[in-house]
Amino acid sequence: MTIAVMPRVVVTHEEVPLWTVEEVASWVTRAGFQDYSPAFRDFGVDGDMLLQLTEAEIKDDVGIVNGILRKRFMRELRELKKTADYTSCDGGLMANFLGRVGAEYRGYAYSIIQGELSLDLMQRLSPTDLEDMLKDCGVDSAIHRHKIVEAVTNGTDDDSFADSLYSEPACDVYLSYPSKGGAELASLIRLQLEVRGQAVSSDPHDSTCLSDASLQQIRESRHLILVLTALEVSDLLLEELMLQEVKVALAAGVKIIPVTADFQWPGVEELPEDIREVASFNSVRWVHDYQDACLDKLDRFIRGDMSSLRVDSPHSRMGRGSRGDSGRSTPTSLLLPSSPTLLNRFLKQRAVSIDSDLGSQST
């Protein structure tokens, strides 16, 4: 049986537990497993059942017997669990709490809820009993169980336990890319960041407008990666959906990291007035021959590891005619505040990223 290879899909749809059989079949098709959609229909798999399917059931009942295809399907299902809306279950409290522990932990929300392990009960159980119940609820990783128990006992890194219940979890990265010419690079960046443990979401731009869920996903993300490729400014930066994503990120104070691939920044006056601020952000210059190094720097910046990274603003290079031996502009270093307190404040107020200026030496 042949399965078409399609870009990975993240569904930031309405509440997945309430999906109908047809909505599940539609998601299966969009995820690249359209040949198996009839099986999901025949068995009447709705959203509730989808979130509870085991790998054994996917193999034996649905019929995805090929190990590689089954791994791909389980990967898509795990991503769906991480991004699903669980408001209909407990108001979203469990998902919010787990999201504060770590983006990947959010995928346990539905199985924990179905196991009748409420947040209130979590607080009243001993650490040993809580760990046992988490295991019964499908949290098979001992490390993950330990982290959840620790978060219940001591709070998450950013909040106390009580505060984390009502804090909306944020995705690490939202990918914004042009529908023409940007999907391949965006897919590569996404896959590699996920391998590095980053939670990534995006909208496939398969409609004429962004859904409310996608807009909210942008607002809740820590970073928006803006993929800019070698297209005309009029084709790229003025693409309606992409432009809307950037505007929402700017309004919400989301840190924007432009990733430029054979892209020449235009003059500021050529950009739409309400997104000109993007031209002052620092960017990752994508060099295909050095993509691993580009991804490493991008990942380290997202994680806040600035200790050995030289950052640069694309705006500082506009109009500069000097070229290095590599044929790329030699960047001017960005002067950062020396005080750690001022630096932290600066990083919160400005969307900064790194410039992968591979092939030329710092001057």
pLDDT tens digits for 228-263? 887 544 454 447 788 888 888 888 888 888 898 888
Using DSSP, state whether 318 is helix, strand or coil.
coil
CA 50 – CA 31 distance, rounded (Å): 14
Q: Which residues pair with 322 in a beta bridge?
A: none
Q: What is the reported pLDDT for 145? A: 94
pTM of the model: 0.46
CA 98 – CA 104 distance, rounded (Å): 8
% of residues, the chain, pLDDT over 90: 27
CA 43 – CA 63 distance, rounded (Å): 12
Per-residue burial over 235-259, b if 16 or more Cβ lie within 10 Å, else e, is ebbebebbbbbbebbbeeebbbbbb
Closest CA to 14 of 74, 101, 87: 87
Angle at 87 between CA 110 and CA 61, to 5 degrees: 35
Q: What is the reported pLDDT for 14? A: 57
> Which residue in the list 245, 269, 273, 277 is annotated as catalytic?
245
> Do the strands 284-285 and 173-176 form a parallel or antiparallel pair, or are they unpaired?
unpaired
The CA-to-CA distance between both ends of the chain, in Å, stands at 56
Report how far apart, in Å, the C-alpha atoms of 208 and of each of 80, 204, 235, 242, 244 are.
Answer: 23, 11, 16, 11, 12
Q: What is the reported pLDDT for 322? A: 32
Q: State which residues of the chain have pLDDT below 50.
A: 1-13, 166, 168-169, 232-234, 236-238, 306-313, 315-363
- Assess contact for 105 and 148: CB atoms under 8 A: yes
Q: What is the reported pLDDT for 355? A: 42
Helix (H) or strand (E) holding 161, with range, is helix 161-165
Tell me whether residue 283 is exposed, middle or buried, using C-beta atoms within 10 angstroms of its C-beta: 0 to 12, 13 to 18, 19 or more: buried
Q: Is 79 a catalytic residue?
A: no
For the chain, list the strands marked E by DSSP: 173-176, 200-202, 223-228, 255-260, 284-285
The phi, psi pair for 176, rounded to 5°, reads: -115, 125
Q: What is the reported pLDDT for 157? A: 55
Q: What is the reported pLDDT for 45? A: 96
Tell me whether residue 3 is exposed, middle or buried, using C-beta atoms within 10 angstroms of its C-beta: 0 to 12, 13 to 18, 19 or more: middle
For 132-185, list the strands marked E by DSSP: 173-176
Q: What is the reported pLDDT for 359? A: 42
Using DSSP, state whether 265 is helix, strand or coil.
coil
Q: What is the reported pLDDT for 159? A: 54
- Assess contact for 63 and 108: CB atoms under 8 A: no
